[in-house]
């Protein structure tokens, strides 16, 4: 099998390369299965044709659940966010729930780590706490068509 001559350094690189591949695939498999790490919120599904009549998306906007516990339900669609402006308090835990009735969109709030992929048929969830008051921009960061660059919203954190 190893009748062909492989130079020493090439052999070393082949071994290092294969070992790295095996280690990282193993790590990846362990994290996905053993530690149950999955992309955020892609486990919940929804009928994209019936978004506006399916709870919680039949009642969009900000809901107060507890003292420092809020839920924000939004729809990302061509080419807007609904609602396009939300008001939330500083320091509260905000659970974003977003879905799309048409194509894949993104919901990114620059300057924070809120960066969600919004896929039709799925509900994407992300929890974030705004520590600084101010006006935050919401942008779509997945190309979704002709109006992609005008698709934006605003978060007022008071």
Whole-angstrom Cα distance, residue 125 to residue 119? 11
Q: Per CB under 6 A, does 122 bind ligand CUA?
A: no
Positions 10 through 69 that interact with ligand CUA (CB under 6 A): none
Please tell me the distance from the alpha carbon of residue 64 to that of residue 94, in angstroms, as a whole number: 9
Distance CA 123, CA 152 (A): 19
CB of 84 to ligand CUA, least distance (A): 12
User: Which H or E run includes 75?
Assistant: strand 69-77
Find the binding residues for ligand CUA in span 77-96 (CB under 6 A): 79
d(CA 125, CA 131): 19
Q: How far is the CB of 143 from ligand CUA (least distance, A)?
A: 6
Q: Among 12-20, 41-49, 50-58, 136-144, which window interacts with ligand CUA (CB under 6 A)?
A: 136-144
The CB-of-79 to ligand CUA minimum distance in angstroms stands at 6
The backbone torsions φ and ψ at residue 13, rounded to the nearest 5 degrees and listed phi first, read -65, -40
Residues 99-118 that bind ligand CUA (CB under 6 A): 105
- Tell whether residue 144 is a contact of ligand CUA (CB under 6 A): yes
Give the C-alpha distances (Å, rounded to integers) separating 79 from 70, 74, 132: 25, 13, 28
Q: Which residue stretch of 3-11, 31-39, 47-55, 142-150 sits at the interface with ligand CUA (rule: CB under 6 A)?
A: 142-150
The residues binding ligand CUA (CB under 6 A) are 79, 105, 140, 142-144, 148, 151
């Amino acid at each position: 099998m190893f009748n062909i001559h492989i130079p020493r350094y090439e052999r070393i690189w082949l071994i290092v390369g294969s070992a790295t591949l095996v280690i990282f695939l193993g790590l990846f498999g362990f994290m996905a299965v053993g530690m149950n790490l999955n992309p955020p919120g892609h486990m919940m599904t929804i009928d994209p044709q019936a978004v506006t009549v399916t709870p919680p998306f039949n009642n969009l906007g900000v809901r107060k659940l507890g003292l420092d516990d809020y839920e924000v339900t939004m729809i990302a669609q061509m080419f807007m966010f609904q609602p396009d402006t939300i008001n939330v308090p500083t320091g509260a835990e905000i659970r974003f729930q977003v879905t799309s009735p048409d194509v894949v969109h993104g919901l990114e709030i620059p300057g924070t780590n809120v960066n969600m992929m919004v896929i039709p048929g799925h509900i994407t969830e992300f929890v974030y706490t705004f520590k600084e008051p101010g006006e935050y921009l919401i942008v779509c960061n997945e190309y979704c068509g002709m109006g992609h660059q005008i698709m934006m919203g605003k978060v007022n954190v008071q």
